Amino acid sequence: MINRVFSVFANPRKLGEGVYGEVFATTYDGIATALKVILIPWFQILINRELSALFDPKAEFSTPNFIQLLKTNVVKGLYPQQFLTAWDAFDEANGSENDRPTNYASEQQLFVTMGMAMGGVDLEHYQVFSYEMERSTISLVVAEERLEFEHRDLHVGNALVLESNMILRSQGVKVHLIDFTLSRMSKEGTTIFRDLENDEELFAGDSDYQFDIYRMMRKSNQGDWLAFNPKSNCFWMHYLAMELINKRRCKKAITRKRRRDLQKIWDHLLEFDCLRELFTHDEFYDVLQRHMVVKPPTGRWRQ
């Protein structure tokens, strides 16, 4: 069964890894696809599916900035050889922190596979920042409004930059938000979340502002990870803003005046209870007017 499912994904190349599984670059029906292979955490499928569905122009709130979910399967069995070869190539080139799949896969082992649209290069490794924070914030506001969504782990590795022919003032890039392992959402009276309270390792880090954010979330929700606390999204957007604004390569990519404008705006995030409050802030509205006006590629206004 596992070989039959994997056979529709061609030319695998390992992209990266996480605590819960592996991610491969493949093609599916001729479309560049990121295939995530994980050990049966069903909640990730539900969250990915609901966020992917947020791209609905007819809805009151919609956004295209969450990765599109193309195909999901539950499979059983051993890893196919071509995916093991891709895993080994990644390990040799980069070093893997995960066990080789042969160490835990068996004829009876269940996996979830999620084929998702390719999202681009993560912000941690993207070389020229054109600063898409405004659009990322809008995406989270949409998810907050429709799904009571909290990402809860939006570090620079979970925001992808994709080169595109977009006609926004975005320097031709689009940001996608990924990896909802720690996320929380509600729909029609059902809440999906992961209780992080006993994950002491998550709260013990001290090498980066990222680890302060985990502790700030815990203090804000008082250890209640079931409850909806959209302030956590404010914390993560502030983290991303500080990462990008203060990186040397970002300083070269945007003007000094724009950097001052952005720094001033994003510093307000820690005062807000949800991201929607940012859009009622006069200074942020001014930034939107200057940096997010839609133009056609020719530079002429569309009527």
Residues contributing to the annotated binding site: 36
Q: Is residue 296 part of a domain?
A: no
Same domain, 222 and 271: yes
Give me the catalytic one of 88, 91, 153, 224.
153
Q: Is residue 195 part of a domain?
A: yes
Q: Is residue 297 part of a domain?
A: no
Which pLDDT does position 133 carry in this prediction? 61
Q: Is residue 298 part of a domain?
A: no
* 153 part of the active site: yes
Domain boundary among 101, 117, 133: 117
Q: pLDDT tens digits, residue range 12-22?
A: 999 888 767 89
Q: Is residue 143 part of a domain?
A: yes
Partners of residue 27 on adjacent β-strands: 10, 32
Q: Is residue 33 part of a domain?
A: yes
Same domain, 258 and 278: yes
**Which range, of 74-83, 119-128, 242-251, averages the lowest pLDDT?**
119-128
pLDDT at 274 over 50: yes
Per the prediction, the chain carries an average pLDDT of 78
Rg (CA), the chain: 20
Is residue 78 within 8 Å of 105, Cβ to Cβ? yes
Tally of domains within the chain: 2
Same domain, 133 and 251: yes
Give the CATH number of the domain where residue 44 resides: 3.30.200.20
Its domain, for residue 149, covers 121-291
> Under 8 Å CB-to-CB from 30, ≥6 apart: which residues?
none
Q: Is residue 302 part of a domain?
A: no
Confidence of residue 171 (pLDDT cuts 50, 70, 90): very low
Partners of residue 184 on adjacent β-strands: 150
Confidence of residue 173 (pLDDT cuts 50, 70, 90): very low
| DSSP reduced 3-state for 158 | helix
**Which range, of 91-95, 250-254, 280-284, averages the lowest pLDDT?**
250-254
Residues contributing to the annotated binding site for ATP: 36
Same domain, 236 and 150: yes
pLDDT at 291 over 60: no
Same domain, 198 and 268: yes
Which pLDDT does position 243 carry in this prediction? 81
Q: Is residue 255 part of a domain?
A: yes
Q: pLDDT tens digits, residue range 131-152?
A: 456 667 777 888 888 889 999 9
